[in-house]
Structure 1
Amino acid sequence: MTIYFVGAGVGGIDYLTVKAHGLICKADVVIYDALADDEILKITPPHCLQINVGKRGGQISTPQDKINQILINYGQSYNNVIRLKSGDPGIFGRLSPELRAIAPYNIDYELVPGISSILAAPLWAGVSLTEKNNSQNFVVISGHNPESLDWHILSQIDTLVILMGAKNLPRIIDFLIKGDRPLNGSIIIIKNAGRNNQQIWTGTLNNILSKTEGIALSPCVIVIGNVN
């Protein structure tokens, strides 16, 4: 009996790893997040139980304690349990509390990497995160709680990649400008990266809010830097 913590990657089945595809095709149970593509669930066996434990900001979500208990219950009862997380399971995926929850029960587990939107979304937008002359480094941050971050330091980084930052975008921009980031600095927003309804907005710190006014941007990846 094993729980496989599998990265669903970005987009649909095409962006699963070969290993992830093989595991899902023989799964007894798939416990999946809100951002995992529905197409992936179609390759599960007929007997497979599919359990939605999605967590989305501003919407009714499955509490983490309940997810932990589901993993314990099914991990002790079924041979091949897939905990399907969008992107890569180790990036903003609440992996640690789930591993801690199953540890006392001696449930075997395996971690299966996935393609993160951190890397894929900028590429789909025609952006290289690193360039020899323009961007020699990049930093990935969560936009959930911008007040907790050191924007004086972050403002000096060549390229910033921000996940879960749509709601707090005005504050993030304000922090960057106060940290002496140029008003004409480039910003790109990629919504629903890798899907049929993918959308991309480009602009500067000075005008991106007016360009996206009234638009629901989540889920999106935000790239700030001179890399386009």
Structure 2
Amino acid sequence: MIEVKTKHNIKEPRITLVGAGPGDAELITVKGIKALQTADVVLYDALVNEELLDFAPAHAQKVYVGKRSGDHSYSQEAVNKLMIDYALNYGHVVRLKGGDPFVFGRGYEELDHAASYSIPAQVIPGISSSISVPGLQQIPVTHRGLSESFWVVTGTTASGTVSNDLYEAARTKATVVVLMGLNKLKEITNIYKKEGKGKLPVAVIQSGSTAEEKVAIGVVDTIVEVVEEMKIKAPALIVLGDVVSLHPKFQPIREFYDIIASE
């Protein structure tokens, strides 16, 4: 049951889904900032840089709604209800989501829920961490001669298992970017080992584009140990593919394996 407080019901309800980008506050789009500047309410996720809330008007309510691995402060159903409640009672709701709303952000579910109440909604895309975070580390997801395509795969499905798509992706030559997969890293590397890809370059990047960023570089055979040594924590993404060999830190690893191969 949606409650409507008519004393606040001055503005027409509307919802804007805004992608906040990978973490660095400066990587939000200009259009995203303009939406925040007209917000009456901002519902924001855990992966959103809170500096962005400063763009919202002083009168706007800023409501944290969690939603990250290990931190489900609000269920998706609760977020949907809040979004509608606030729109009906206060006007313009900006739903601020990390990365891009439509890349494992459940953005379409929220868009569809708004439509079920006939509340106008629009989408302002964000820079997805799946491309930008590797890029900031000088790792292109495609590169002539190394990778002609890339996959973006969730590391953990709703049932808590490794995505079946990873088994398919591991058989290709494509760059594979795994989101929300750090706690499945050992399982993921085992999938690649079974495909004979133990020497495939891998990067694991924690909190990409932020001050907490850490980067672990290795190969499938070693990356679990490297991540443990560096104490990499979530949120982190995994990049598997020959393009990781372009990272400056990979050169010593290449030289090591060249020496082993020549002996």
| TM-score, normalised via structure 2 length | 0.82
- Paired AA for residue 87 in structure 1: G
Aligned 8 A contact 1:12 1:40 in 2: no
Query: Which residue does 1:117 correspond to in 2?
Result: 129
Query: Which residue does 1:146 correspond to in 2?
Result: 162
Structure 2 distance, partners of 1:224, 1:176, is 9
- Deviation, 1:146, is 1.5
Query: Which residue does 1:197 correspond to in 2?
Result: 212
Q: How many residues of Structure 1 are paired with residues of Structure 2 in the alignment? A: 227
- List aligned pairs for 1:1-228, cutoff 5 A: 1-144=13-156, 145-146=161-162, 148-149=164-165, 151-180=167-196, 182-213=197-228, 215-227=231-243, 228=246
Question: Which is worse superposed, 68-77 or 56-65?
Answer: 56-65
Structure 1 distance, partners of 2:223, 2:14, is 46
What SS class does the counterpart of residue 130 from structure 2 fall into? helix
Question: Which is worse superposed, 184-193 or 154-163?
Answer: 154-163
- Deviation, 1:160, is 0.5
- Deviation, 1:14, is 1.1
Residues 135/15 of structure 1: CA separation in 2 closer, same or farther (3 Å cut): same
Query: Which residue does 2:252 correspond to in 1?
Result: none
RMSD: 1.5
Identity of aligned residues (%): 33
- Deviation, 1:153, is 4.7
- Paired AA for residue 149 in structure 1: D
Residues 185/217 of structure 1: CA separation in 2 closer, same or farther (3 Å cut): same
- Deviation, 1:199, is 0.8
Residues 114-147 of structure 1: per-residue CA shift (max 9 Å, x gap): 1010111101111111111111111110001315
Residues 132/147 of structure 1: CA separation in 2 closer, same or farther (3 Å cut): closer
- Paired AA for residue 203 in structure 2: I
- Deviation, 1:57, is 2.0
Residues 132/184 of structure 1: CA separation in 2 closer, same or farther (3 Å cut): same
What SS class does the counterpart of residue 115 from structure 1 fall into? coil
More helix by share: 2
Residues 88/28 of structure 1: CA separation in 2 closer, same or farther (3 Å cut): same
Name stretches of at least 5 consecutive residues in structure 1 with no aligned partner.
none
Aligned 8 A contact 2:151 2:169 in 1: no
Name stretches of at least 5 consecutive residues in structure 2 with no aligned partner.
1-12, 247-263
Find the structure with the greater CA-based Rg.
Answer: 2
- Deviation, 1:58, is 2.2
Higher relative contact order at CA 8 Å, sep ≥6: structure 1 or structure 2? 1
- Paired AA for residue 166 in structure 1: L
- Deviation, 1:60, is 4.5
Question: Which is worse superposed, 151-160 or 202-211?
Answer: 151-160
- Deviation, 1:94, is 1.1
- Deviation, 1:151, is 1.0
